[in-house]
Structure 1
């Protein structure tokens, strides 16, 4: 079975407005729910509440992304993601040492990997809620055709080669009145 991991994706600029720090497109991502452990979830407001409700955490920037995309990865990509997240857990979250952080990062990456049991280019969103027993996460997938991930174009130029077809030449400068 191919190894797949989630990467952040930005389909429009909205993440830069709704989160205090938006993830850069293309970062490996985890759910980031651990950042809300112990928080009074009912008192979250504004951009922090939005990150709780719908954000995936980019592991390089520690910024948020509303969507992630299932992406093929190598074992080296996965190992690098675990190492980077472990570093971030020490620096940003106060993990006591790199070994403890690496164990936690391994769990987070494994869970993120488990979300990617879909074909590449599948988009994944999360919806988190606060419940009496704690936090609940629900994930949804948006299956898009690969061509729909490409920028939309109004025109497509197609070159057609035909043997013995008459050649038509147009002088645009003459038509514009700039050449006589």
Structure 2
């Protein structure tokens, strides 16, 4: 029997994402790491809300917004195809991909990476991302918080905005 396919949805515990990201992701929207947005960034790009998005923001597939926490949940295979199409359209609109067809394999790869990250975790496991610039580009690490381990003191921590 095949294991259910999993992705992660944006989750909010307070209103802080509304203040720390230029565009906050909508509660419940599907998310991926979205590190591709920062592939050409340097230290000079990392200030204020840009720094917050870079440091720990997941990418919402519907809004293109960012969120601090995502929760693992099951996704239907047919929904994955729609999400890949949506992300491919984003690549055309915002990153200059020549066509949706050309961008589709990259979009699917992004979704597959997120599905791989979520695969070993139970429903409602919380995920956070931490990014840093290195000599070879953007380095991402992930933290998993099992539902039974989650305490409220873990959810309202954000860096300064340097605004």
TM exceeds 0.5? Answer: yes
1:135 and 2:138 matched: yes
**Larger proportion of helix:** 2
1:13-37 superposed Cα distances (whole Å, 9 cap, x missing partner): 1101010000001111111100011
1:16-165 correspondence to structure 2 within 5 Å: 16-116=18-118, 117-145=120-148
Aligned mates of 1:135, 1:49 — CA distance in 2: 13
Secondary structure of the structure 2 residue equivalent to 1:71: strand
3-state SS of 1:115 partner: helix
Unaligned runs of 5+ in 1: 150-180
User: How far off is 1:44 after superposition?
Assistant: 1.4
1:165 aligns with none
Per the alignment, residue 155 of structure 2 pairs with: none
CA distance in 1 between partners of 2:105 and 2:97 (Å): 11
Match of 1:9 in 2: 11
Q: Are the equivalent residues in 2 in contact too, given 1:4–1:70 (CA < 8 A)?
A: yes
Q: How many residues align?
A: 149
What 5-or-longer segments of structure 2 have no aligned partner? 153-163
